[in-house]
Amino acid sequence: MSTKFTGWGRTSASYATLCEPDSETQIVNEFAIEDDLIPRGLGRSYGDAAQVSGGVVMSNLALRSMGPIDDDGVVTLGAGISIDELLTISIPQGWFVPVTPGTRQVTIGGAVAADVHGKNHHVDGSFGAHVLSMRLVTPRGAWDISPTQDAELFWATTGAMGLTGMITSVTLRLLPIETDQVLVDTERFNTLDGVMASMREGDGAYQYSVAWVDCMTRGAHMGRSILTRATHARTQDVKEATLRAPQASKIVVPFDAPSGLLNPLTVRAFNELWFRSSPKFQQGESQSLTTFFHPLDGVRDWNRLYGKKGFVQYQFCVPDEEHETVVSCIDRLSSSGVASFLAVLKRFGPSNPGLLSFPMPGWTLALDLPVGPSSLPGVLDDLDELVLDAGGRIYLAKDARLAPEKARRMYPRVDDFLAIKERVDPQHQLTSDLARRLHLVGK
Ligand SMILES: Cc1cc2nc3c(=O)[nH]c(=O)nc-3n(C[C@H](O)[C@H](O)[C@H](O)COP(=O)(O)OP(=O)(O)OC[C@H]3O[C@@H](n4cnc5c(N)ncnc54)[C@H](O)[C@@H]3O)c2cc1C
């Protein structure tokens, strides 16, 4: 039976057969009988990475084993366990994930495959840096791989968007925490230069840092921002030191909002309210882990607010010295009149050896853009050029539109990646709509 798949942005739908293997044997069987396959987790990548038109989508959600957390915080998890499920068990025992994206609704397999980053990349790196080993099933067999055991395949798989095989389990080192709170410092900036200078100078003193940027205001206040930075609260920092599991979201968006609800007018009004309601300067506010890390998880199916046409998340990173590119991109966007509802700026620390891993030392900006305005494709093409000129790249986990020649320039180690993929997937069975579009399947 054919099933419709999209990413979280709900653009670029395609149809494929769904299978949900619950053992290595079943995955091996799928590779023996099917041609075009791609693993899938909870479908939180925005574009077309976890789907393959006319092929087989292998859900990892039945891979559900979960071992005990040992005294050093080491745990082995089935690839289909979500960060939400992990935190439900681990927080009450005093452990947090070392890296979390902006939602808990991602699987461990998806987190490794995209080598996800959080608000702490500048100090802790991306997800792959905390993986001790993993089990990978490929068309040529199954392997335990780690940074020391077949490191080549390990780093080809970390960030490879599922294109080397199906990860079945991951051994991870968690982060010890004393409470379920973080201490947050908030500061408002009227200019982009102001917030960027503060992040460059001050982020090193915090484990977590993120700035919300207003991309709708023009002129002197273009890029005005709210910067929030935090560290985990210790027992003595809070009135009541609790270790509570995250709560499930109670609010659901029940239907698709009318297309055009998020337009320049409504987004401008929202941004104004958001900016003014935030404190100008506040230190040491205690917030729950959920409020700080996963505010969007409070509303289920929030992507429906963008209407049936969906939305694009455009996320790029550029080297540190290219901070002017961030300014130019926001200038291009704010002058285009295309509404960006959420714009998030973070700092990245050193890259890891992942051949297709996204982060590079410097800046990353993520923009949520509703599909609809006729100028949007042209604006995004312009942003691609600015990013390329700066030696930057865009994030494959968010992409649904990049051209292959641009992807090659942004990810210069594609040929090294394809050579390793050839070793484990000589018939080029592992493919996806993203891989076909960007020529990442094989030669
Ligand atoms: C609200 C929101 C906020 C986000 N914030 C961030 C953020 O801050 N930082 C960040 O880095 N990302 C962020 N993301 C993106 C998200 O973390 C990644 O796209 C992640 O990969 C999604 O995991 P998933 O389980 O949904 O995987 P899917 O979206 O289903 O799949 C993603 C990729 O992983 C591959 N894959 C999945 N499971 C396996 C497996 N078992 N073996 C091999 N490959 C596999 C798929 O083939 C696909 O290429 C965010 C997404 C949302 C919706």
* DSSP assignment string, 255-315: SPPPTTSS-HHHHHHHHHHHHHHS-SEEEEEEEEHHHHH-GGGGEETGGGGG-TT-EEEEE
SS3 sequence of 403-415: CHHHHHHHCCCHH
DSSP state of 46: S
Give the percent of the chain with pLDDT over 90.
83
pLDDT bucket at 306, cuts 50 / 70 / 90? confident
Cα-to-centroid distance, 343 and ligand 1 (Å): 19
DSSP state of 10: -
Cα-to-centroid distance, 381 and ligand 1 (Å): 24
Site to substitute for ligand 1 among 100, 107, 300, 431, most atoms within 8 A of C-beta: 107
The residue whose C-alpha atom lies closest to atom 53 belonging to ligand 1 is 44
pLDDT digits (tens, 9 = 90+) for 139-198: 999 999 999 999 999 999 999 999 999 999 999 999 999 999 999 999 999 999 999 999
Contacts of 277 (CB under 8 A, 6+ apart): none
Atom of ligand 1 nearest to the CA of 164: 43
With a Cβ cut-off of 6 Å, ligand 1 is lined by 8, 38-45, 49-50, 60, 79, 101-103, 106-107, 109-111, 113-114, 116-118, 161-162, 166-167, 296, 397
Domain boundaries, the chain: 181-401
Cα-to-centroid distance, 396 and ligand 1 (Å): 10
Q: How far apart are CA 171 and CA 154, in angstroms?
A: 13
**For residue 227, what are the β-bridge partners?**
187, 211
How many C-beta atoms lie closer than 10 Å to residue 410's C-beta? 22
Mean pLDDT across 20-26: 97
Alpha carbon separation from 246 to 18, 117, 165, 278 (Å, rounded) = 30, 20, 31, 24
Q: How far apart are CA 247 and CA 288, in angstroms?
A: 11
pLDDT bucket at 106, cuts 50 / 70 / 90? very high
List alpha helices for 20-140, DSSP H.
Answer: 24-33, 83-90, 108-113, 121-124
What's the confidence (pLDDT) of residue 443?
63
pLDDT digits (tens, 9 = 90+) for 143-152: 999 999 999 9
Output Rg (C-alpha) for the chain, integer angstroms.
Answer: 21
Mean pLDDT across 116-144: 98
Q: Is the pLDDT of residue 8 over 80?
A: yes
Q: Is the pLDDT of residue 373 over 90?
A: no
Q: What stretch of H or E contains 336? A: helix 323-336
Q: Is the pLDDT of residue 16 over 80?
A: yes
Give the percent of the chain with pLDDT over 70.
100
Q: What stretch of H or E contains 326? A: helix 323-336
Cα-to-centroid distance, 115 and ligand 1 (Å): 8
Atom of ligand 1 nearest to the CA of 395: 11
pLDDT digits (tens, 9 = 90+) for 390-431: 999 999 999 999 999 999 999 999 999 999 999 999 999 999
pLDDT bucket at 72, cuts 50 / 70 / 90? very high
Cα-to-centroid distance, 217 and ligand 1 (Å): 31
Q: Do the bridges between strand 166-173 and strand 74-78 make them parallel or antiparallel, or are there none, so unpaired?
A: antiparallel
Mean pLDDT across 29-49: 97
Q: Is the pLDDT of residue 341 over 80?
A: no
pTM of the entire predicted model? 0.97
Q: What is the CA angle 343-344-347, rounded to 5?
A: 145
The residue whose C-alpha atom lies closest to atom 44 belonging to ligand 1 is 162
Atom of ligand 1 nearest to the CA of 296: 1
Cα-to-centroid distance, 397 and ligand 1 (Å): 6
Q: Is the pLDDT of residue 257 over 80?
A: no
The residue whose C-alpha atom lies closest to atom 15 belonging to ligand 1 is 45
Which pair of tokens denotes residue 270?
């929202």
Cα-to-centroid distance, 40 and ligand 1 (Å): 9
Q: Is 45 helix (H, G, I), strand (E, B) or coil?
A: coil
Cα-to-centroid distance, 5 and ligand 1 (Å): 14
* DSSP assignment string, 358-401: ---SEEEEEEEEES--TTHHHHHHHHHHHHHHTT-EE-GGG-S-
Atom of ligand 1 nearest to the CA of 136: 42
CATH 3.40.50.300 correct for 181-401? no
Burial pattern 193-215, b for ≥16 Cβ within 10 A else e, equals: ebbbebbeeebeebbbbbbbbbb
Mean pLDDT across 281-298: 94
Q: Is the pLDDT of residue 389 over 80?
A: yes
Mean pLDDT across 51-64: 98
DSSP state of 102: S
Q: Do the bridges between strand 2-5 and strand 14-19 make them parallel or antiparallel, or are there none, so unpaired?
A: antiparallel
Mean pLDDT for the chain overall: 95
